[in-house]
Amino acid sequence: MEGAGVTEKVFSEAEVRKIAIRLEEAAKADINECVGSWEEEMEVKTITKKCRGVVSKSRTRGTGNGTIKATMHIQQDLFADMRGMQQEELKDGVIAYGTKSLHPQFCVTVLVLDEDENKKYKAYPNCTIKSAMSRKVENGSEEITEIEMEIAVMPDVNGYGLYEAVESDLTDKTLKNDWLESFKPEMAVATTA
């Protein structure tokens, strides 16, 4: 990425320090620092051109779609909200999951560290829970099981599913300060004169 101001040194992602989830109607994200594992996979589409049955040209580009697999301990209210658990028609304090539970869209932002604790910010602005609700309790266990989530990543209005910035390359102080709690795609787009 010549001339893009991107760091030239290697950034090896070693630890996910914080995950923030902001439901589409929320002003700020819920930040979670109790993360077990994080895995992302962004999809590509390859188009080929053949000449007499032999590939003569191949082009691959991102689709903006992907999948995040994460394990963590998560706040009960956020867990319920991410799965569209309902309270309508129910008594106070009761929530339910079923045919009325539409999984809402949300933004996921992440603070990642390398082995030297340099920071990288990531944002997935258009996500939804992809997996079924699954929880495991093991009586007598010495460790409480983390919640596993599979999150679908979709492209936003700009066509991007993932934004990222190494902190030392990020010159916009407002963007740096607001990234985790209130990232929106328009914050990352350069304005033209």
Which of 2-11, 60-69, 80-89, 165-174 comes out lowest in average pLDDT? Answer: 2-11
pLDDT digits (tens, 9 = 90+) for 111-158: 999 999 999 999 999 999 998 888 888 899 898 889 999 999 999 999
CATH number at residue 109: 2.30.110
- Report residue 84 as tokens: 């569209």
Total domains in the fold of the chain:
1
2 lies in some domain: no
pTM comes to 0.87
* Residue 191: per-residue pLDDT: 76
pLDDT digits (tens, 9 = 90+) for 77-115: 999 999 999 888 899 999 999 999 999 999 999 999 999
Under DSSP, the state recorded for 3 is: T
Provide the domain limits for residue 175: 15-185
39 lies in some domain: yes
62 lies in some domain: yes
* Residue 7: per-residue pLDDT: 56
